[in-house]
Protein backbone atom coordinates (compact mmCIF):
# COMPACT_ATOMS: atom_id res chain seq x y z
CA UNK A 1 0.00 0.00 0.00
CA UNK A 2 0.97 3.65 -0.55
CA UNK A 3 1.35 4.49 3.16
CA UNK A 4 3.75 1.57 3.70
CA UNK A 5 6.15 2.74 1.01
CA UNK A 6 9.61 3.20 2.63
CA UNK A 7 10.19 6.47 0.77
CA UNK A 8 6.82 7.87 1.91
CA UNK A 9 7.62 6.78 5.46
CA UNK A 10 10.97 8.61 5.41
CA UNK A 11 9.34 11.69 3.88
CA UNK A 12 6.55 11.66 6.52
CA UNK A 13 9.00 11.24 9.41
CA UNK A 14 11.08 14.16 8.17
CA UNK A 15 8.05 16.44 7.91
CA UNK A 16 6.77 15.42 11.34
CA UNK A 17 10.17 16.41 12.72
CA UNK A 18 9.91 19.64 10.73
CA UNK A 19 6.47 20.27 12.30
CA UNK A 20 7.90 19.90 15.79
CA UNK A 21 10.74 22.21 14.85
CA UNK A 22 8.25 24.76 13.53
CA UNK A 23 6.24 24.52 16.77
CA UNK A 24 9.38 25.07 18.83
CA UNK A 25 10.33 28.06 16.69
CA UNK A 26 6.79 29.41 16.96
CA UNK A 27 6.88 29.15 20.76
CA UNK A 28 10.31 30.79 20.83
CA UNK A 29 9.25 33.66 18.60
CA UNK A 30 5.98 34.08 20.56
CA UNK A 31 8.05 34.47 23.72
CA UNK A 32 10.20 37.02 21.90
CA UNK A 33 7.07 38.96 20.81
CA UNK A 34 5.69 38.94 24.34
CA UNK A 35 9.03 40.22 25.61
CA UNK A 36 8.80 43.13 23.18
CA UNK A 37 5.34 44.06 24.53
CA UNK A 38 6.49 43.43 28.11
CA UNK A 39 9.36 45.88 27.70
CA UNK A 40 6.99 48.53 26.34
CA UNK A 41 4.49 47.93 29.19
CA UNK A 42 7.27 48.14 31.78
CA UNK A 43 8.52 51.42 30.29
CA UNK A 44 4.96 52.78 30.19
CA UNK A 45 4.34 51.80 33.83
CA UNK A 46 7.62 53.36 34.83
CA UNK A 47 6.52 56.66 33.27
CA UNK A 48 3.09 56.48 34.99
CA UNK A 49 4.57 55.64 38.43
CA UNK A 50 7.21 58.34 38.09
CA UNK A 51 4.63 61.00 37.22
CA UNK A 52 2.19 60.00 40.02
CA UNK A 53 4.76 59.60 42.77
CA UNK A 54 6.36 62.90 41.91
CA UNK A 55 3.11 64.49 43.07
CA UNK A 56 1.88 61.91 45.60
CA UNK A 57 4.78 59.94 47.13
CA UNK A 58 2.41 58.45 49.77
CA UNK A 59 0.76 56.29 47.07
CA UNK A 60 3.96 54.36 46.27
CA UNK A 61 3.03 51.07 48.02
CA UNK A 62 -0.50 50.99 46.64
CA UNK A 63 0.63 51.73 43.08
CA UNK A 64 3.49 49.23 43.22
CA UNK A 65 1.11 46.49 44.43
CA UNK A 66 -1.21 47.18 41.52
CA UNK A 67 1.57 47.14 38.92
CA UNK A 68 3.69 44.26 40.21
CA UNK A 69 1.12 42.02 41.95
CA UNK A 70 -2.05 42.77 39.97
CA UNK A 71 -3.89 43.53 43.24
CA UNK A 72 -6.48 46.11 44.30
CA UNK A 73 -8.88 46.35 41.35
CA UNK A 74 -11.39 48.34 43.48
CA UNK A 75 -11.17 51.52 41.40
CA UNK A 76 -11.01 49.86 37.96
CA UNK A 77 -14.46 51.18 37.07
CA UNK A 78 -13.45 54.73 37.91
CA UNK A 79 -10.29 54.35 35.84
CA UNK A 80 -12.24 52.91 32.92
CA UNK A 81 -14.73 55.77 33.15
CA UNK A 82 -12.01 58.40 33.12
CA UNK A 83 -10.12 56.74 30.20
CA UNK A 84 -13.34 56.34 28.21
CA UNK A 85 -13.60 60.12 28.08
CA UNK A 86 -10.48 59.94 25.91
CA UNK A 87 -11.71 56.92 23.86
CA UNK A 88 -9.30 54.57 25.61
CA UNK A 89 -11.22 51.31 26.15
CA UNK A 90 -11.50 47.81 24.64
CA UNK A 91 -12.77 49.27 21.39
CA UNK A 92 -9.65 51.27 20.73
CA UNK A 93 -7.82 50.34 17.53
CA UNK A 94 -4.39 48.79 17.85
CA UNK A 95 -2.64 51.60 16.02
CA UNK A 96 -4.04 54.09 18.55
CA UNK A 97 -2.80 52.14 21.58
CA UNK A 98 0.68 53.55 22.23
CA UNK A 99 2.28 50.36 23.53
CA UNK A 100 0.84 48.11 20.80
CA UNK A 101 1.56 50.68 18.11
CA UNK A 102 5.17 51.09 19.16
CA UNK A 103 5.61 47.26 19.41
CA UNK A 104 3.86 46.41 16.09
CA UNK A 105 6.94 46.79 13.90
CA UNK A 106 9.12 44.66 16.16
CA UNK A 107 6.46 41.93 16.47
CA UNK A 108 5.84 41.93 12.70
CA UNK A 109 9.57 41.70 12.02
CA UNK A 110 9.84 38.78 14.46
CA UNK A 111 6.93 36.89 12.83
CA UNK A 112 8.30 37.50 9.32
CA UNK A 113 11.64 36.04 10.38
CA UNK A 114 9.79 33.02 11.84
CA UNK A 115 7.85 32.42 8.61
CA UNK A 116 10.97 32.86 6.47
CA UNK A 117 12.92 30.39 8.62
CA UNK A 118 10.18 27.77 8.40
CA UNK A 119 9.84 28.33 4.64
CA UNK A 120 13.62 28.10 4.21
CA UNK A 121 13.77 24.82 6.13
CA UNK A 122 10.92 23.41 4.00
CA UNK A 123 12.65 24.51 0.79
CA UNK A 124 15.97 22.98 1.87
CA UNK A 125 14.31 19.71 2.85
CA UNK A 126 12.27 19.58 -0.37
CA UNK A 127 15.33 20.36 -2.50
CA UNK A 128 17.32 17.67 -0.71
CA UNK A 129 14.49 15.17 -1.19
CA UNK A 130 13.92 15.95 -4.87
CA UNK A 131 17.67 16.09 -5.49
CA UNK A 132 17.90 12.43 -4.48
CA UNK A 133 14.95 11.53 -6.72
CA UNK A 134 16.46 13.51 -9.61
CA UNK A 135 19.81 11.75 -9.17
CA UNK A 136 18.02 8.39 -9.30
CA UNK A 137 16.15 9.46 -12.45
CA UNK A 138 19.41 10.60 -14.11
CA UNK A 139 21.02 7.29 -13.11
CA UNK A 140 18.15 5.28 -14.61
CA UNK A 141 18.15 7.45 -17.76
CA UNK A 142 21.89 6.89 -18.25
CA UNK A 143 21.41 3.17 -17.68
CA UNK A 144 18.64 2.93 -20.30
CA UNK A 145 20.58 5.07 -22.79
CA UNK A 146 23.82 3.10 -22.41
CA UNK A 147 21.99 -0.22 -22.52
CA UNK A 148 20.25 0.78 -25.76
CA UNK A 149 23.66 1.64 -27.21
CA UNK A 150 25.13 -1.68 -26.07
CA UNK A 151 27.42 0.01 -23.51
CA UNK A 152 27.90 -1.51 -20.06
CA UNK A 153 26.70 0.83 -17.30
CA UNK A 154 26.62 0.15 -13.57
CA UNK A 155 23.45 1.59 -12.07
CA UNK A 156 23.94 2.93 -8.53
CA UNK A 157 21.84 1.94 -5.49
CA UNK A 158 20.12 -0.79 -7.48
CA UNK A 159 19.10 -2.58 -4.27
CA UNK A 160 17.53 0.41 -2.50
CA UNK A 161 14.10 0.15 -0.91
CA UNK A 162 10.87 1.67 -2.16
CA UNK A 163 9.25 2.19 -5.54
CA UNK A 164 12.39 3.69 -7.11
CA UNK A 165 14.32 0.59 -6.04
CA UNK A 166 11.62 -1.60 -7.58
CA UNK A 167 11.70 0.51 -10.74
CA UNK A 168 15.47 0.05 -11.00
CA UNK A 169 15.09 -3.71 -10.55
CA UNK A 170 12.41 -3.87 -13.24
CA UNK A 171 14.57 -1.77 -15.59
CA UNK A 172 17.46 -4.19 -15.12
CA UNK A 173 15.14 -7.16 -15.76
CA UNK A 174 13.67 -5.47 -18.83
CA UNK A 175 17.05 -4.59 -20.35
CA UNK A 176 18.32 -8.12 -19.62
CA UNK A 177 15.33 -9.61 -21.44
CA UNK A 178 15.79 -7.18 -24.33
CA UNK A 179 19.49 -8.07 -24.58
CA UNK A 180 18.60 -11.76 -24.64
CA UNK A 181 15.98 -11.16 -27.32
CA UNK A 182 18.46 -9.15 -29.40
CA UNK A 183 21.00 -11.94 -28.99
CA UNK A 184 18.40 -14.49 -30.07
CA UNK A 185 17.46 -12.37 -33.07
CA UNK A 186 21.11 -12.08 -34.07
CA UNK A 187 21.49 -15.83 -33.66
CA UNK A 188 18.37 -16.45 -35.75
CA UNK A 189 19.69 -14.07 -38.40
CA UNK A 190 23.01 -15.94 -38.53
CA UNK A 191 21.16 -19.25 -38.55
CA UNK A 192 18.92 -18.11 -41.41
CA UNK A 193 21.89 -16.82 -43.36
CA UNK A 194 23.76 -20.11 -42.86
CA UNK A 195 20.70 -22.13 -43.83
CA UNK A 196 20.22 -20.14 -47.03
CA UNK A 197 23.92 -20.51 -47.82
CA UNK A 198 23.76 -24.27 -47.19
CA UNK A 199 20.69 -24.70 -49.40
CA UNK A 200 22.26 -22.58 -52.13
CA UNK A 201 25.47 -24.58 -51.95
CA UNK A 202 23.71 -27.94 -52.01
CA UNK A 203 21.42 -26.97 -54.91
CA UNK A 204 24.23 -25.58 -57.05
CA UNK A 205 25.47 -29.00 -58.25
CA UNK A 206 22.09 -30.50 -59.30
CA UNK A 207 21.06 -27.17 -60.85
CA UNK A 208 24.24 -27.15 -62.95
CA UNK A 209 23.60 -30.72 -64.05
CA UNK A 210 20.01 -29.88 -65.00
CA UNK A 211 21.11 -26.89 -67.08
CA UNK A 212 23.72 -28.96 -68.95
CA UNK A 213 21.28 -31.81 -69.60
CA UNK A 214 18.60 -29.35 -70.69
CA UNK A 215 21.01 -27.70 -73.19
CA UNK A 216 21.99 -31.10 -74.58
CA UNK A 217 18.34 -32.00 -75.15
CA UNK A 218 18.18 -29.33 -77.86
CA UNK A 219 20.79 -31.19 -79.91
CA UNK A 220 19.86 -33.78 -82.48
CA UNK A 221 20.36 -36.87 -80.34
CA UNK A 222 19.05 -40.42 -80.64
CA UNK A 223 15.85 -41.10 -78.75
CA UNK A 224 17.62 -43.54 -76.43
CA UNK A 225 20.07 -40.83 -75.34
CA UNK A 226 17.25 -38.33 -74.75
CA UNK A 227 15.40 -40.88 -72.62
CA UNK A 228 18.58 -41.42 -70.64
CA UNK A 229 18.94 -37.66 -70.18
CA UNK A 230 15.29 -37.38 -69.07
CA UNK A 231 15.88 -40.10 -66.49
CA UNK A 232 18.89 -38.20 -65.19
CA UNK A 233 16.88 -34.97 -65.09
CA UNK A 234 14.13 -36.73 -63.15
CA UNK A 235 16.70 -38.15 -60.74
CA UNK A 236 18.22 -34.72 -60.14
CA UNK A 237 14.77 -33.15 -59.64
CA UNK A 238 13.86 -35.85 -57.12
CA UNK A 239 17.16 -35.24 -55.31
CA UNK A 240 16.49 -31.49 -55.22
CA UNK A 241 12.95 -32.06 -53.96
CA UNK A 242 14.21 -34.33 -51.16
CA UNK A 243 17.01 -31.92 -50.31
CA UNK A 244 14.72 -28.87 -50.07
CA UNK A 245 12.16 -30.71 -47.94
CA UNK A 246 14.87 -32.09 -45.64
CA UNK A 247 16.53 -28.70 -45.29
CA UNK A 248 13.22 -27.05 -44.38
CA UNK A 249 12.49 -29.74 -41.79
CA UNK A 250 15.96 -29.45 -40.29
CA UNK A 251 15.73 -25.64 -40.20
CA UNK A 252 12.41 -25.80 -38.35
CA UNK A 253 13.77 -28.24 -35.79
CA UNK A 254 17.00 -26.34 -35.16
CA UNK A 255 15.17 -23.00 -35.01
CA UNK A 256 12.91 -24.55 -32.32
CA UNK A 257 9.69 -23.43 -34.00
CA UNK A 258 8.09 -26.88 -33.77
CA UNK A 259 5.82 -27.80 -30.87
CA UNK A 260 6.63 -31.44 -30.28
CA UNK A 261 3.79 -33.52 -28.85
CA UNK A 262 4.08 -35.17 -25.45
CA UNK A 263 2.21 -38.40 -26.18
CA UNK A 264 2.95 -41.93 -25.05
CA UNK A 265 4.82 -43.54 -27.95
CA UNK A 266 4.94 -47.32 -28.30
CA UNK A 267 8.47 -48.13 -29.53
CA UNK A 268 7.46 -51.23 -31.48
CA UNK A 269 4.89 -49.22 -33.45
CA UNK A 270 7.47 -46.46 -34.01
CA UNK A 271 9.99 -48.95 -35.48
CA UNK A 272 7.45 -50.61 -37.78
CA UNK A 273 6.38 -47.22 -39.12
CA UNK A 274 10.01 -46.19 -39.66
CA UNK A 275 10.88 -49.40 -41.48
CA UNK A 276 8.04 -49.16 -44.05
CA UNK A 277 9.69 -46.58 -46.39
CA UNK A 278 12.97 -48.54 -46.39
CA UNK A 279 11.65 -52.03 -47.06
CA UNK A 280 12.24 -51.78 -50.81
CA UNK A 281 15.98 -50.83 -50.52
CA UNK A 282 16.40 -53.61 -47.94
CA UNK A 283 14.82 -56.17 -50.26
CA UNK A 284 16.84 -54.95 -53.26
CA UNK A 285 20.08 -55.43 -51.30
CA UNK A 286 18.77 -58.71 -49.85
CA UNK A 287 19.58 -57.54 -46.35
CA UNK A 288 18.36 -59.29 -43.21
CA UNK A 289 16.24 -57.10 -40.89
CA UNK A 290 15.95 -58.22 -37.26
CA UNK A 291 13.62 -56.45 -34.80
CA UNK A 292 13.39 -57.50 -31.14
CA UNK A 293 12.46 -55.95 -27.82
CA UNK A 294 9.81 -55.40 -25.17
CA UNK A 295 6.48 -54.90 -26.92
CA UNK A 296 5.26 -52.67 -24.07
CA UNK A 297 8.33 -50.39 -24.11
CA UNK A 298 7.40 -46.73 -24.60
CA UNK A 299 8.46 -43.13 -23.98
CA UNK A 300 6.88 -39.66 -23.99
CA UNK A 301 7.38 -37.84 -27.28
CA UNK A 302 6.11 -37.12 -30.80
CA UNK A 303 5.76 -40.29 -32.87
CA UNK A 304 5.57 -38.52 -36.24
CA UNK A 305 8.83 -36.63 -35.81
CA UNK A 306 10.44 -39.65 -34.13
CA UNK A 307 9.62 -41.70 -37.24
CA UNK A 308 11.36 -39.01 -39.32
CA UNK A 309 14.49 -39.33 -37.17
CA UNK A 310 14.53 -43.14 -37.09
CA UNK A 311 13.99 -43.40 -40.86
CA UNK A 312 17.14 -41.37 -41.45
CA UNK A 313 19.19 -43.53 -39.07
CA UNK A 314 17.96 -46.85 -40.52
CA UNK A 315 18.38 -45.50 -44.05
CA UNK A 316 22.00 -44.57 -43.23
CA UNK A 317 22.64 -48.13 -42.00
CA UNK A 318 21.05 -49.66 -45.10
CA UNK A 319 23.07 -47.45 -47.46
CA UNK A 320 26.38 -48.28 -45.75
CA UNK A 321 25.76 -52.03 -45.47
CA UNK A 322 26.66 -54.38 -48.30
CA UNK A 323 24.27 -56.80 -49.98
CA UNK A 324 23.24 -59.76 -47.82
CA UNK A 325 24.21 -57.81 -44.68
CA UNK A 326 22.23 -57.53 -41.47
CA UNK A 327 20.29 -54.63 -39.93
CA UNK A 328 19.19 -55.29 -36.34
CA UNK A 329 16.96 -53.07 -34.20
CA UNK A 330 16.54 -53.75 -30.49
CA UNK A 331 14.71 -51.74 -27.84
CA UNK A 332 13.99 -51.78 -24.11
CA UNK A 333 12.61 -49.67 -21.28
CA UNK A 334 13.81 -49.25 -17.69
CA UNK A 335 12.85 -46.88 -14.84
CA UNK A 336 15.32 -44.22 -16.08
CA UNK A 337 15.03 -44.25 -19.87
CA UNK A 338 13.91 -46.05 -23.02
CA UNK A 339 16.57 -47.08 -25.51
CA UNK A 340 16.61 -48.05 -29.18
CA UNK A 341 19.75 -49.60 -30.72
CA UNK A 342 20.12 -49.73 -34.50
CA UNK A 343 23.05 -51.91 -35.56
CA UNK A 344 24.41 -52.81 -38.99
CA UNK A 345 27.14 -55.08 -40.35
CA UNK A 346 28.35 -52.47 -42.80
CA UNK A 347 31.57 -50.68 -43.60
CA UNK A 348 31.80 -48.86 -40.25
CA UNK A 349 32.98 -45.33 -39.57
CA UNK A 350 36.54 -44.11 -39.28
CA UNK A 351 37.51 -42.86 -35.79
CA UNK A 352 38.33 -39.42 -37.16
CA UNK A 353 34.83 -39.10 -38.63
CA UNK A 354 32.80 -40.23 -35.57
CA UNK A 355 32.84 -36.79 -33.78
CA UNK A 356 31.49 -35.10 -36.93
CA UNK A 357 28.86 -37.45 -38.37
CA UNK A 358 25.95 -35.53 -36.79
CA UNK A 359 27.05 -32.19 -38.31
CA UNK A 360 25.10 -30.81 -41.23
CA UNK A 361 26.50 -31.69 -44.70
CA UNK A 362 29.40 -33.62 -43.23
CA UNK A 363 30.64 -36.50 -45.36
CA UNK A 364 33.34 -38.80 -44.10
CA UNK A 365 36.49 -38.76 -46.18
CA UNK A 366 36.40 -42.53 -46.47
CA UNK A 367 32.67 -42.78 -47.22
CA UNK A 368 31.75 -44.90 -50.22
CA UNK A 369 28.53 -42.93 -50.84
CA UNK A 370 29.45 -40.22 -53.34
CA UNK A 371 25.91 -38.80 -53.59
CA UNK A 372 25.51 -38.53 -49.81
CA UNK A 373 24.45 -35.06 -48.68
CA UNK A 374 25.05 -35.45 -44.95
CA UNK A 375 21.80 -34.06 -43.63
CA UNK A 376 19.88 -37.12 -42.40
CA UNK A 377 21.86 -37.79 -39.23
CA UNK A 378 21.96 -34.08 -38.33
CA UNK A 379 18.16 -33.96 -38.58
CA UNK A 380 17.79 -37.16 -36.54
CA UNK A 381 19.98 -35.75 -33.74
CA UNK A 382 18.06 -32.45 -33.58
CA UNK A 383 14.68 -34.24 -33.47
CA UNK A 384 15.78 -36.69 -30.75
CA UNK A 385 17.35 -33.99 -28.55
CA UNK A 386 14.19 -31.89 -28.87
CA UNK A 387 12.30 -34.75 -27.15
CA UNK A 388 14.56 -35.00 -24.09
CA UNK A 389 16.69 -37.60 -25.81
CA UNK A 390 20.31 -38.36 -26.69
CA UNK A 391 22.01 -40.20 -29.54
CA UNK A 392 25.54 -41.52 -29.83
CA UNK A 393 27.38 -43.92 -32.13
CA UNK A 394 29.82 -46.78 -31.70
CA UNK A 395 31.69 -47.99 -34.73
CA UNK A 396 34.88 -49.55 -36.03
CA UNK A 397 36.08 -49.56 -39.57
CA UNK A 398 34.87 -52.70 -41.42
CA UNK A 399 33.09 -53.96 -38.26
CA UNK A 400 29.73 -52.21 -38.51
CA UNK A 401 28.02 -49.37 -36.64
CA UNK A 402 25.69 -49.05 -33.63
CA UNK A 403 23.38 -46.07 -33.08
CA UNK A 404 22.13 -45.75 -29.49
CA UNK A 405 18.99 -43.61 -29.07
CA UNK A 406 17.95 -42.81 -25.48
CA UNK A 407 14.76 -41.06 -24.36
CA UNK A 408 15.05 -40.00 -20.72
CA UNK A 409 12.10 -40.12 -18.36
CA UNK A 410 11.04 -36.99 -16.51
CA UNK A 411 9.37 -37.08 -13.11
CA UNK A 412 7.32 -34.25 -11.64
CA UNK A 413 6.90 -33.80 -7.90
Kind and range of the H or E element at 300? strand 298-301
Pick the residue with more confidence: 274 or 74?
274
pLDDT tens digits for 299-347? Answer: 999 999 999 899 999 999 998 899 999 999 999 999 999 999 999 998 8
Residue ranges in 149-161 assigned as alpha helix (H): none
What's the pLDDT score for residue 241? 80
Rg (CA), the chain: 50
Sorted by where each starts, the structural domains of the chain and their CATH numbers stand as 2-148 (no CATH), 175-251 (1.10.287.130), 259-408 (3.30.565.10)
The answer, yes or no, to whether residue 224 has pLDDT greater than 80, is: yes
What's the pLDDT score for residue 334? 93
154 DSSP 8-state letter = -
The answer, yes or no, to whether residue 151 has pLDDT greater than 80, is: no
The answer, yes or no, to whether residue 71 has pLDDT greater than 70, is: no
What's the pLDDT score for residue 288? 93
Phi and psi of 291, rounded to 5°? -125, 125
Which pairs with CB-CB distance under 8 Å and at least 24 residues apart come from 245-250? 246/373, 246/375, 246/376, 246/379, 247/195, 247/198, 247/199, 247/202, 247/375, 249/308, 249/379, 250/360, 250/375, 250/378, 250/379, 250/382
Pick the residue with more confidence: 390 or 108?
390
Contact 286, 324 (CB under 8 A): yes
Task: Return left, alpha or beta for 177; rule: phi > 0 is left, psi -120 to 50 is alpha, else beta.
Answer: alpha
Burial (CB count within 10 angstroms: exposed 0-12, middle 13-18, buried 19+), residue 406? middle
pLDDT tens digits for 337-396? Answer: 999 999 999 888 888 888 888 887 666 655 555 455 567 888 899 999 999 999 999 998
The answer, yes or no, to whether residue 136 has pLDDT greater than 90, is: no
The count of residues in the chain is 413
Residues 6+ positions from 320 with CB-CB distance below 8 Å: 344, 346, 347, 367, 368, 369, 401
Which pairs with CB-CB distance under 8 Å and at least 24 residues apart come from 87-91? none
Tell me the helices (H) and strands (E) count for the chain, helix number first.
10, 7
Pairing of strands 326-333, 263-266: unpaired
The answer, yes or no, to whether residue 408 has pLDDT greater than 90, is: yes
Residues 6+ positions from 277 with CB-CB distance below 8 Å: 311, 315
Give the integer Cα–Cα distance in Å for 341 and 102.
Answer: 113
Burial (CB count within 10 angstroms: exposed 0-12, middle 13-18, buried 19+), residue 344? buried
Q: Residue range 173-184: average pLDDT?
A: 81
Residues 6+ positions from 239 with CB-CB distance below 8 Å: 206, 371
Residues 6+ positions from 73 with CB-CB distance below 8 Å: none
The answer, yes or no, to whether residue 45 has pLDDT greater than 90, is: no
Amino acid sequence: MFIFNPEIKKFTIKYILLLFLALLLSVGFSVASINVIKNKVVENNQVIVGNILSEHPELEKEIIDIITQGKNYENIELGAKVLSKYNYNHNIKSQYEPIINSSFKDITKTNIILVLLIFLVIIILALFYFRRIYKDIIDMTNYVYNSSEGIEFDMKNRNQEGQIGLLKTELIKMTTVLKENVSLLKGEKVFLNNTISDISHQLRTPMTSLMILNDLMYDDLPIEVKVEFLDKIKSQLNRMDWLIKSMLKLSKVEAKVIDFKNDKVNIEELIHRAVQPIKVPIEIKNQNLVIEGDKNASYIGDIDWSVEALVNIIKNCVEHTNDNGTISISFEENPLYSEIIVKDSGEGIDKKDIPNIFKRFYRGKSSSKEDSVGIGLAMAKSIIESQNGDIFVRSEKSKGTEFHITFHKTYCD
